[in-house]
Amino acid sequence: MNVTVFGTGYVGLVQGTILAEVGHQVVCVDVDAEKIGKLEQGIIPIYEPGLETLVKENHAAGRLSFTTDAAMAVAHGDIQFIAVGTPPDEDGSADLQYVLKVAETIAEHMAAPRIIVNKSTVPVGTADRVRARVAEVLAARAGAEQEGEALTFDVVSNPEFLKEGSAVADCQKPDRIIIGTERDASVEVLRELYAPFNRNHDKVIVMDVRSAELTKYAANCMLATKISFMNEMANLAERLGADIEAVRQGIGSDPRIGYHFIYPGVGYGGSCFPKDVQALIRAADDIAYDAKVLKAVEARNATQKTTLLDKIHQHYKGELAGKTFALWGLAFKPNTDDMREAPSRVLMEALWEAGARVQAYDPEAMEEAQRLYGSRDDLTLCGTKETALKGADALVIVTEWQSFRAPDFTLIQQQLAEPTLFDGRNLFVPSRMASKGFTYYSVGRRPV
């Protein structure tokens, strides 16, 4: 099938590449000429495991191409994906200007019926706005041209459920395929499009457009709620003398709860959870509904991002000026270079404000950190995790990269001024850290 994807970010580039991988002819279009030029050369703008190889292979095979030519892209695809960003506006609501601009672009150039598929995460009712915008442009065109039959189109909600760091696998083996439309013909076209990913059992769930739009927000907000709830329990456990890791195993064994997203830590970040929780809160405010649970989730997460800083202040009795901290992990989660809303940023900026220095290392996010913060005297970006330790007063772990799970503890003790470790991801067992001679702070457990 011929497919066009507007947007070459995490969603558009991954979805377009995986559709090309199974044989569809895919054109990815973006307004950023520099990004398109790099993609043509096989240079990927994001870090996502497995993506680079697939982009290069499918581009070389002629199934995947990149362009800034919107007219060509609209002419190519019977199916037009909108996969552009919906950044938070100043009030927390989703900014739909890019989505609506793509809708206008499709309407300006379409010369045959099209199915417009909204892949971007958008508030309930966005499909109606896209449909109205397309109809408005088409009506203006018909009035000016005064010829030809009216062009038909459908606007479908088809939300993505990709996790950064495993987006390729999630796209290749989706656990569900949500199709929001009331047109049977559109359902059949999308069933054909997704047939290669729907062989073992039927993963397609058809519903009305507004329910599909809400499903995306509900899913992310539910996961964010689990994280914030577990962090709330961790804070209680710490004060009650309990061990949150034991509690986690105890509740995770209940199949109604499960083990996913109940790991305590320093809060969630990234491009999805913070933005989507805020957007749904704003949508609720717009209809005069007080979304108390969502507001509590957001408040708990904001506070949780300071939990390591609180422990550091307590340990050093608030005297942080002149201290140097080795920081392992800058990305908001492993297997990505994304630092949007990352807990590491909250921590580093607070340490700098207190007069401390940071020596940071992350396996993938070093260039992003350089882009965000540039050159500054109180930040040293190190080439290895070992280099970050040298001369530091303490080690702080913010992101649970695999390479941090079994470090050389003897080397850590030798390099640090004192064997002090603040673990924001509970990577180590407190009793073992005690036996190794560390002062050790974690989340939801008694300090050593």
Q: What is the DSSP string of 247-291?
A: HHHHHHTSTTT-STT---SS---SSSHHHHHHHHHHHHHHTT---
* pLDDT at position 90: 81
Residues 141 and 164 grouped into a single domain:
yes
Residues 110 and 178 grouped into a single domain:
yes
Environment class of 169 (CB within 10 Å of its CB; exposed 0-12, middle 13-18, buried 19+): middle
Predicted confidence band at 225 (pLDDT cuts at 50, 70, 90)? very high
The tens digit of pLDDT for each residue in 339-366 reads 999 999 999 999 999 999 999 999 999 9
Predicted confidence band at 148 (pLDDT cuts at 50, 70, 90)? very low
Low-confidence winner among 83-92, 271-280, 412-421 (lowest mean pLDDT)? 83-92
Q: Which of 302, 329, 359 is the last residue of a domain?
A: 302
Residues 32 and 164 grouped into a single domain:
yes
Residue with tokens 């019977």: 78
Residues 358 and 419 grouped into a single domain:
yes
Residue 415 predicted with pLDDT over 50: yes
For residues 227 and 234, give the distance between their C-alpha atoms in angstroms, rounded to a whole number. 10
For residue 234, the enclosing domain spans: 218-302
More confident residue, 45 or 292: 292
Residues 74 and 187 grouped into a single domain:
yes
The tens digit of pLDDT for each residue in 36-91 reads 999 999 999 999 999 999 999 999 999 999 999 999 999 999 999 999 999 888 88
For residues 56 and 43, give the distance between their C-alpha atoms in angstroms, rounded to a whole number. 9
The tens digit of pLDDT for each residue in 5-44 reads 999 999 999 999 999 999 999 999 999 999 999 999 999 9
For residues 412 and 395, give the distance between their C-alpha atoms in angstroms, rounded to a whole number. 8
The tens digit of pLDDT for each residue in 425-445 reads 999 999 999 999 999 999 999
Residues 161 and 104 grouped into a single domain:
yes
* pLDDT at position 92: 85
Number of domains in the chain: 3
Q: Supply 418's token pair.
A: 């004192």
The tens digit of pLDDT for each residue in 115-145 reads 999 999 999 999 999 999 999 999 998 876 6
For residues 328 and 402, give the distance between their C-alpha atoms in angstroms, rounded to a whole number. 11
Residues 425 and 381 grouped into a single domain:
yes
Q: Supply 188's token pair.
A: 């059949």
| Percentage of residues in the chain having pLDDT higher than 90 | 94
Environment class of 303 (CB within 10 Å of its CB; exposed 0-12, middle 13-18, buried 19+): middle
Of residues 6, 15, 14, the one with CA closest to residue 193: 15
Tell me whether residue 28 is one of the annotated catalytic residues: no
Of residues 343, 314, 336, the one with CA closest to residue 425: 343
Helix axes 292-304, 273-286, angle to 10 degrees: 150
Please indicate, yes or no, if residue 355 is contained in any of the structural domains: yes
* pLDDT at position 342: 97
What length is written for the chain? Answer: 448
Q: Is the dihedral of CA 22, 164, 207, 130 positive or negative?
A: negative
Mean of per-residue pLDDT scores for the chain: 95
* pLDDT at position 201: 87
Q: Which of 267, 302, 337 is the last residue of a domain?
A: 302
Model's pTM, two decimal places? Answer: 0.92
Residues 37 and 181 grouped into a single domain:
yes
H helix count then E strand count, the chain: 18, 14
Please indicate, yes or no, if residue 64 is contained in any of the structural domains: yes
For residues 270 and 223, give the distance between their C-alpha atoms in angstroms, rounded to a whole number. 13
* Mean local confidence (pLDDT), 178-183: 97
The CATH number of the domain holding residue 96 is: 3.40.50.720
* pLDDT at position 181: 97
CA angle 33, 34, 38 (to 5 degrees): 115
Please indicate, yes or no, if residue 213 is contained in any of the structural domains: no
Predicted confidence band at 149 (pLDDT cuts at 50, 70, 90)? low
Q: Supply 300's token pair.
A: 């708990």
Residues 33 and 126 grouped into a single domain:
yes
* pLDDT at position 91: 83
* pLDDT at position 238: 96
User: How much of the chain is helix, strand and coil, in % rounded to 5?
Assistant: 45, 15, 40
SS3 344: helix
Residues 385 and 404 grouped into a single domain:
yes
Of residues 207, 168, 156, 124, the one with CA closest to residue 11: 168
The CATH number of the domain holding residue 293 is: 1.10.1040.10
Q: Is the dihedral of CA 165, 166, 171, 177 positive or negative?
A: negative
Q: Which of 285, 302, 319 is the last residue of a domain?
A: 302
Residue 147 predicted with pLDDT over 70: no
Residues 181 and 232 grouped into a single domain:
no
Residues 138 and 244 grouped into a single domain:
no
SS3 236: helix
The catalytic position among 171, 221, 272, 382 is: 272
Beta strands 114-118 and 79-82, pairing class: parallel
* Mean local confidence (pLDDT), 206-232: 97
Could you tell me the maximum CA-CA distance found in the chain, to the nearest angstrom? 83
Please indicate, yes or no, if residue 446 is contained in any of the structural domains: no
